[in-house]
Structure 1
Amino acid sequence: MRRWPEGPICSGCFANAMEIYGICDGCGTDRLLPGIGPDGQRWCTDCGGGLGDYTCTRCGREGWREHAGICGWCVLRDQVDELLDDGTGRVRVELTPLAALIVSMKRPRSGIRWLTRPGPCGILRALARGEVPLTHEGVHSLPPLKSSIYIRDLMVTAGILPPVDKFMFLFEQWWPAWLDTITDPEHRATLRLFLTWHYLRVFRAKIAARGELGYGLPQLARARLRLTAAFLNDLASRGRTLAETTQADLDRLFAQSSPHQRNALRPFLRWAMNTRRMPQLDLPPQQERPVTLVTQRQRIQLIRRIHDGDGMELTDRVLALLVLLYAQPLARIQQLTVTDIATGDDGHLHIRLGDPPTPVPAPFDQVIRQHVTARRNQMTAANTTSPWLFPGRASGQPMHTTSLRLRLHNLGIPNLTNRSRAIREMLRQAPPIIIAGMLGYSATGAEKIAAEYGTHWQHYVGLDRQPRRPPRLTE
């Protein structure tokens, strides 16, 4: 038997091995598996022999002993009970579900280290002692912000707080404080109206239609509002108000601004003209940047690299395949769940990107199956039962699109250029209406891309039909 690889083993690696559970390859029992066989088998302490006793003297559970004879779950429970004590020696009644959620994590060492930080400890003590109300606003008011957001998400998962759209809530907390930084009262009033009647209205409509807001739109709104405030300040420095803006002012602005800045200001300028807060002026036409494509050869080389998977995590391989094979945008990849992966009646793996579900060819089906059974970020209290195909660190949330984009970047896989090439290659093989349905694209958008790429329905092989005979005229 090979218990451990040759050479020194760090305490962290050893502790992680003490948190591996499953079916023993020797006796078939579901228990702790600290032993490693000569061919990579996972063995329990009895089958391994001489590995020691890892049974907790307090709860009787096998696991990593954080203290002498006491497992990590018991140590974690002691920490949680102490932090959430309401002063009576017991956990505050309203926070009992939160305590149970934290203690239920699969890897207690992560929770123990987390609760040694001053930020989470201070927030949990303040909640237990009733220093702030048990509301979203109350938890959000406790510093540091990153820890308060994480604990607030845990409280939503535990059922203590009602669910709200996370990004809408954060935006609504941000914009009043940001408006207070605008010194000019007229500018502040204009920006408040624009923010209320444009962005907030659009955000609420998006939540009503899609069920959630997402990360990108609020971030874009923050950047555009800052540029809008800078535009108003520039007008004021030239002695003009918004109502006195001239065509020369707009021409100068568009001549001196970058394409990004010009696009960021267009929503405000259109709103100001439509509401008659500035004169009706001409906006230069918006120029669309041509799509940059990788070659089909480069795409095939990347697919082969992902298939080989040398040194790549399963998460990165599945993410790259969804872009390279199925032209999926990151916002849609983020929303995929494990229920979208299923075996069809034909016995092959299918993924639900549109209607009907799309088949996954071999050997990539095995990569996705392995990822589903070994997803990341499921060892803490945040996502123990997460339905997301790519679980995030925040409780109940999928992995952030920024994190997904960074993973692709680290692999050397440009997202947009590869996705654009993938959709165009598929449109060469089947009519746009079929591709659009299977991949979740709009039929109009697929038709437009096909037309721009020079692919038309006339190029597809038609059905072998017998020509219809012309009607015979009878007297």
Structure 2
Amino acid sequence: MRERLTVLFTAVPQSGSQYEHMRAALADCPEPGTVLNWLRNSHSARLLTNLLATGRPLTHDDLDATADNRSAAMTAEYLRGLLMAYRVLPERDELTARITRHLDRVATRHPDHALLLRSYVRWSLLPRARRHQRLRGGGTKHRIRWAYIRINTAADFLTAMAARGLPIGQITQHDVDGWLAAKPQTRYEARDFVVWAHRRHHTRALVIPHRRKADPVGLDEDSHWDLLHQCLTDTALPLEVRAAGSILLLFGQHLTRIAALATTALTTTDGTSCLTLNHTPIPLPDSLARLLCDLAARPAPTGWAANTPSAWLFPGHLPGAHLSSAVLGRRLAANHIPNRPARTTALIALAQDLPPAILGPMLGLHPITAAQWRRRASTDWTTYLQARLQNRNRGSRIT
């Protein structure tokens, strides 16, 4: 391993370079076989070798320049995570950088609409994405994907209207309805762009309805509490599954936010352990407090992640990175803990007891979302009365 590292860093000075900390950390890895396999077989190691061969100081722009396709972009992002963890590259606003880079690609493909798309992203998408990240935290991948979808849909909408010879100011509701009818499920996301364009006086008042979402299906109450009891008491389950499942079943947190919980979110004051999911410390039951304290105190994972100190309750396999929500979801599913039904039941249970003004800030929910959960949790006799009337008309009774 040391011989391979010497060859890798031949093109850079032996001391005082930006790679000095990385070279020392890799050389001291407690599992040299992991580093050796990475050096031999990884696309990201080959990319690093090519970048080092230039003899120039490495920058984020150099990595961005290599991401000319999906596979290359994944390799570059993997290497970027390593280099930031080993302090070769400084931290950057990845949310802004990724959205801006995608905008540049879309603008290159649609030069006639580039000015409008750039204004939409600069004055609407980016500020909301940053605000969401600042206020609610969690991973950036979900918010980046949210922006990608809206940029792509806006470009498709403008291109389709231009193909009909319609500049944006001449688009009518009839044109919008015809465009929606072709692929309604994928085109409803254009609503965000159309609303922004009207507010900026680029277009008429056009209506694109919100995409219909099926009502979330929850667990029955007994199953929900049985799963929570299992997570809190069953030592046969992996520790991270028990902890993540308990947070999911008790607080209804999205997996992207659970996976990104920092160790600083767990605090103890006057003998009471609290978990901060948004800005409000939430006192924990003793059983859950012990579980999360055990999770935070467990030994650092081996392999890649052992090279840097972990700031996450759920550390990932990459140094300095937390576990991805996709991996966490698969681990929960493998232990028969359903993500969406569990989250639905937990939020309904909380919304029955807490008003939206408290529920939202406590869990990091948008005020509108908190109000929707409150309405969903409220007792509604409309369905019952309608079912009773239908059965009476059919000559049967319902009690």
CA gap 1:141/1:436 in 2 versus in 1, 3 angstroms: closer
**Deviation string for 1:320-360 (max 9, x for gaps)?**
111012222223323322233345534x6543335343223
In 1: Cα distance, 2:203 partner to 2:52 partner: 53
- 1:174 counterpart = 2:174: no
C-alpha RMSD over aligned residues: 3.5
Indicate the residue corresponding to 2:220 in structure 1. 295
Q: Which has the higher mean CA deviation after the structures are superposed, 285-294 or 158-167?
A: 285-294
CA contact (8 A) 1:338 1:388 kept: yes
In 1: Cα distance, 2:356 partner to 2:79 partner: 46
In 1: Cα distance, 2:334 partner to 2:4 partner: 38
CA contact (8 A) 1:132 1:138 kept: no
Q: Which has the higher mean CA deviation after the structures are superposed, 216-225 or 142-151?
A: 142-151
Pick aligned residue for 1:226 from 141, 152, 158: 152
In 2: Cα distance, 1:228 partner to 1:447 partner: 29
> Structure 2: where are the runs of 5+ without partners?
380-399
In 2: Cα distance, 1:126 partner to 1:369 partner: 43
Pick aligned residue for 2:323 from 396, 399, 410: 399
In 1: Cα distance, 2:83 partner to 2:12 partner: 21
Whichever residue aligns with residue 251 of structure 1, its letter is: D
RCO (CA 8 Å, sep 6+): is it higher in 1 or 2? Answer: 2
Indicate the residue corresponding to 1:333 in structure 2. 258
Normalising by structure 2, we get a TM-score of: 0.79
- 1:199 counterpart = 2:134: no
CA gap 1:246/1:446 in 2 versus in 1, 3 angstroms: closer
Indicate the residue corresponding to 1:250 in structure 2. 176
Whichever residue aligns with residue 129 of structure 2, its letter is: F
**Deviation string for 1:416-436 (max 9, x for gaps)?**
332221133245556776666
- 1:153 counterpart = 2:73: no
Q: CA shift at 1:96, angstroms? A: 1.0
Q: CA shift at 1:310, angstroms? A: 7.6
Indicate the residue corresponding to 1:85 in structure 2. 10
CA contact (8 A) 1:378 1:384 kept: no
In 2: Cα distance, 1:218 partner to 1:130 partner: 31
Q: Secondary structure at the match of 1:279?
A: coil
CA contact (8 A) 2:35 2:304 kept: yes
CA gap 1:446/1:399 in 2 versus in 1, 3 angstroms: same
CA gap 1:296/1:391 in 2 versus in 1, 3 angstroms: same
Normalising by structure 1, we get a TM-score of: 0.67
In 1: Cα distance, 2:105 partner to 2:33 partner: 38
Indicate the residue corresponding to 2:338 in structure 1. 414
In 1: Cα distance, 2:12 partner to 2:347 partner: 61
CA contact (8 A) 1:105 1:384 kept: no
CA gap 1:111/1:278 in 2 versus in 1, 3 angstroms: same
> Structure 1: where are the runs of 5+ without partners?
1-75, 456-475
Indicate the residue corresponding to 1:322 in structure 2. 247
Indicate the residue corresponding to 1:125 in structure 2. 49
CA contact (8 A) 1:306 1:321 kept: yes
CA gap 1:205/1:336 in 2 versus in 1, 3 angstroms: closer
- Number of equivalent positions: 375
Q: Secondary structure at the match of 2:18?
A: helix
In 1: Cα distance, 2:359 partner to 2:139 partner: 27
In 2: Cα distance, 1:433 partner to 1:272 partner: 31
CA gap 1:431/1:79 in 2 versus in 1, 3 angstroms: same
In 2: Cα distance, 1:276 partner to 1:433 partner: 34
CA gap 1:300/1:87 in 2 versus in 1, 3 angstroms: closer
Q: CA shift at 1:267, angstroms? A: 1.0
- 1:368 counterpart = 2:292: yes
In 2: Cα distance, 1:217 partner to 1:91 partner: 39
Looking at secondary structure, tell me which structure has more helix per residue: 2
| Higher CA-based Rg | 1
Q: Which has the higher mean CA deviation after the structures are superposed, 369-378 or 212-221?
A: 369-378
The aligned runs of 1:208-223 (5 Å cut-off) are 214-223=140-149
CA gap 1:349/1:238 in 2 versus in 1, 3 angstroms: same
CA contact (8 A) 1:314 1:371 kept: yes
CA contact (8 A) 1:203 1:213 kept: no
CA gap 1:260/1:309 in 2 versus in 1, 3 angstroms: farther
In 2: Cα distance, 1:442 partner to 1:141 partner: 37
Q: CA shift at 1:443, angstroms? A: 7.8
